[in-house]
Structure formats: C-alpha cells, structure tokens
Chain A
Amino acid sequence: MIEWIKNPWPWYIGGPLIGLSVPLLLIFGNKRLGVSSSLRHICAICFPGNIQFFKYDWKREMWNLFFVFGIAAGAFLAVTLLSNHQPINVNPKLVSELKDYGINDYSKLAPPDIFNWSSLFTVKGFVLMVVGGFLIGFGTRYAGGCTSGHSIMGLSNLQWPSLVATICFMIGGIVMANFILPSILRI
C-alpha cells in the first residue's frame, strides 16, 4: 500500500480527487475553489495603493490564504514522506527534444537545469521564471480566474465564459510551447 502511494498516481485517481475539492470547499462553508484570487488578496493586504480593485474586505477572504498555505505544506509532505524520488517518466519524443536545449535532469518536478537560483540571472531563466510568473498573475486576474477557478470550478457549474477562458488558456499554452518556447530554450 505505502509503496503504491509512493509511486506517481494515475490520472484516474488524481483527477477525481482534485474534482472533489469543489464540493469539499462548498460544504465547508460556501467557498468556491480558486487559487489565483490569493494573489489578489496578497496585493490587497500588502500594497493596495489607491487602487479600487484592491479595496475590499480581504479579511473575509482569509480562508483562501489558508488554502494556498495548505497547498505548499501538502506538497512538502508529498515530496518528503510520500515519494520514491524516481525521475519523471515522460514521452521519449519530449526527452530527445529537451536534450537539444540542454535539459537532461528529470529528478525534480521542475527541471533543475532551468529552475535554479543561478539561472535566474541569465536571460533564459529570467524570461521563463520572472516574465512567465508575471504573465500568470496578470493573465489570470484579467481572465478572472485560473485553471482551478475557471477550468474546474467554472466548468463544473456549466458557466460558458469559463469554457471560453479554458480554451484560451489551452491556445495560449499550445502556441507558447510549440512556437515560442523553443526559441527561448535555445538562448
């Protein structure tokens, strides 16, 4: 059993468990699954400036920050206690493509060849980590939600604007991964 847990979980176990977070949060207290809002709450708490968008009663939304703190803690537990530390097994086509960009280390969830502190000060690392992060924050708030808020919560409640958002997430990702990212990784 514990060996089974330590292996990566198949999609048909993990997917439904992720989906169950929706009713769990609703039943706990009428909370709707969403992670990107936490970024807005952090802005509202730390630097609201004089911006109307950040002036609201964030104390009511504190649950969301407890939730994201839990995510980080859960990830820590999963990696330290529930993992067998095997390299990630990906499609051989991807392996050979990434080899051309000098990415060979599959020991962590994010490739250590790019996502490390020293590469932060290279053009490639800066673009991927800092510009990429900026686009996540700007894009999700502009779209009014992220993968959890639109693609899981919104779709589960049959909201068509969430479907539009989800399709756009995918188009953006497909364009970036296939047509733009290769040039960035070659830098």
Chain B
Amino acid sequence: METIVVKNSFVEKLNTDFEVRSLDSVCINTSVLKHPWWYNIKYMVAGLLFGIVLVKTEVISWFRIQEMFRFQSFHMYGVIGSAVLTAMMSVWLIKKFRIKTIYGEPIQLYKIRFSKGQVYGGLLFGFGWAMTGACPGPLFALIGSGTTVIIVTLLSAIAGTWVYGFFREKLPH
C-alpha cells in the first residue's frame, strides 16, 4: 500500500515537472544537482549585469519602445537582433563543443511545443509591452532605477499570471 502511495506522488510530481518544462519556453532548470541556497548568488550577479545593460542601452525606456513600434529608430532592433545573433552563436558553440556547466553537467536544450497561446498570449503581451513600455525584465529594472510606481505594474502582472493559471483549462491552447 505504501509503495503505491509513493509511486503515485512520484508520478504526480513528474507530471507537474513536465508541465513546467514543456509549456514554458523559459526558466527550464535542467540541473539535477542540489546545492545550498547561496549557490544562487551567482544568478544574482548575472542578473546584476543584465540589469546594468538593460538600463545603459535604454531598452527599458518607454520612449525607446514607442520609437521601436513606430519604426522611428533602429536602436531597439539593433539591440534585439544582435542579442539574438550572439545568443544563437553561443548556443551553436555550446552544442558543437558539448560544453558542460561549471559543475560538469551536460548542457541540455529543450524543444518548445507550439500552442495557440503563443499567438493569443503573444498579441496580448504585445499590447501590454507597448502600453507600459516594459516586458517582465524591464519591470524589475524600472523599479530598481527609481520609478517606484512600477511596483504596482509588477503586482498587476503577477495578478495577470495568476488569472491565467486560474482560467488555463478553459483557454484555447
């Protein structure tokens, strides 16, 4: 009896993990290593550098986002385009040379499954991006940069995420 219970909870856990991994393009943590919490500090340092670059290239600026969507400046296209190219070359190199993590784990990359959410959700996020001049990363950066009222926008974005989770089964995917 006890084994069955354990087995069931194991299956449920696997399924939940499957959901986290397959439907999201992002934040897929394929590491199986368990580390103390302070190992996460290196990700804070990575975020710190990321935040500095977001501010210094002005990609978190509402004005730059308006320019981009009105095709009045090349700046944002240059930033996103060169970021994608650099990331693409890095991923290609990682795959080609089978580069491992600093802990010696093989780096794994996952396929993203298509869902209608990428269309509907994508359009809705596009609206929000143009309105607030921010995507999720810049929300955090804007708060740090001193526009404190964006805390409200962040809370609203958390609420939006929650509402999506609540209605998820009823939405077309």
Q: Is B163 an interface residue (CB 8 A)?
A: yes
Which residues 62-94 of B sit at the A interface, judged by CB distance below 8 A? 62-70, 72-88, 90-91, 93-94
Contact of B128 with A135 in the complex, beta carbons under 8 Å: yes
B28 within 8 A of A: yes
> How many angstroms from the CA of A78 to the CA of B131 in the assembled complex?
24
Which of B44, B79, B145 contacts A11 (CB under 8 A)? B79
Chain A positions 81 through 125: 1 when the CB is less than 8 Å from some CB of chain B, otherwise 0 = 011000010110110001000000010111110111100100000
Report the minimal beta-carbon distance from A82 to chain B, rounded to whole angstroms.
7
Tell me which of B27, B49, B123, B137 contacts A168 (CB under 8 A). Answer: B123
**Number of chain B interface residues as a range:** 35 or more
The reply to whether B78 and A9 contact each other, CB–CB distance below 8 Å, is: no
- Among A20, A144, A174, the residue within 8 A (CB) of B69 is A174
User: Could you tell me if A132 and B128 are in contact, using CB atoms closer than 8 angstroms?
Assistant: yes
**A interface majority secondary structure:** helix
Does A140 contact B121, Cβ atoms closer than 8 Å?
A: yes
Please report whether the interface of chain B is mostly helix, strand, loop or mixed according to DSSP.
helix
- Assess whether A94 is in contact with B115, with CB atoms less than 8 Å apart: no
Residue on A nearest B24 in the bound complex, by CB: A144
In this complex, how many residues of chain A approach chain B with their Cβ under 8 Å: the count is 138
Is A27 interfacial (CB-CB < 8 Å)? yes
In the assembly, what is the distance between CA of A169 and CA of B25, in Å? 15
Known: A15-B83, A120-B152. A145 touches B160 (CB 8 A): no
- Chain A 14-38: CB-based contact to B (< 8 A → 1; otherwise 0): 1111111111111111111111111
